[in-house]
Amino acid sequence: MLTKRIIPCLDVTLDRAGGCVVKGVEFVDLKEAGDPVELAKRYNEEGADELVFLDITASAHGRETMIDVIERTADEVFIPLTIGGGISSIDAIRQILRAGADKVSVNTSAVKNPDFIKEASDIFGAQCIVTAIDCKRNLDIKNNPDKTILELEDGTPAWYEVVIYGGREATGIDAVEWARKAEELGSGEILLTSMDRDGTCAGYDLPITRKLSEELDIPIIASGGVGNPQHIYEGFSIGKADAALAASIFHFREYSIKEVKEYLKERGIPVRL
């Protein structure tokens, strides 16, 4: 049985020398959480299976700074490193992989130009390409009969709408359909973030996580909403995710990665200790 992965996520803002990890709620109200390289070293030592860095500034200047952060991190940690945020060209992917990253995460650029996934996958291999999908619950099912309708925890029917530009723009695109298309185009993984849950510590958005896990053959990384180890357990046991991404509970030392993994192992979830 494949072990489930625990992946700390570092949202990095690059408006200061060396970058800074921040955490917000529903993509806003950011507060500082520490130095990206130092946090990455800590998570490597604690037993994280992978790391995700998201460049949330993603300007041209920020991209240059991010390359420096990647190089410094790759020198210090020895687990897979995924980089995302504003990646929209083959050259950018090439630079990031050369700097020491193992995978890149594409989001808005892929929604705008789906063939970008295929082009990147053909050049670098599907194992290097993660499609990040940010989505939001939409209760308007009457005017959206073509969408994938799921039942929420309280029985309310809803569909999940893809949002881009850090959640600032709704697209009208059905998240389930988009995930299927990303897989067909050659994406190796899906990083699924529910905006409704991001930073809320209320647990993963299980209906959409489970749907994608059941529908797709590629791994699903659950993201958005972890407040305690039980939420991660539910992401695996109910959401059927292949990996669990979390930020706040690790950044602010509410729980260590080892504590989370021991909790999961006691409940029958296969993890690497």
Residue 174 appears among annotated catalytic residues: no
Q: What tokens were used for 156?
A: 């309310």
**Dist CA 161 CA 135 (whole Å):** 5
E strands within the chain?
Answer: 5-13, 20-25, 28-34, 51-55, 81-84, 103-106, 129-138, 150-151, 157-164, 169-174, 189-194, 220-223, 243-246
Radius of gyration of the chain (CA): 17
Single-letter amino acid code for the residue at 13: T
According to DSSP, residue 4 is labeled B
Buried b (16+ CB within 10 A) or exposed e, 81-112: bbbbbbbbeeebbebbbebbbbbbbbbbbbbe
Residue 217 appears among annotated catalytic residues: no
Annotated catalytic residue, options 11, 35, 196, 205 = 11
Largest CA distance in the chain: 53
Q: Is 219 exposed, middle or buried (0-12, 13-18, 19+ CB in 10 A)?
A: middle
How many helices (H) and strands (E) the chain has is answered by 10, 13
Select from 71, 79, 128, 14 the least CA-distant residue to 257.
79
Q: Confirm if 84 and 104 have CB atoms less than 8 A apart.
A: yes
Annotated catalytic residue, options 49, 134, 205, 242 = 134
Could you list the active site residues?
A: 11, 134
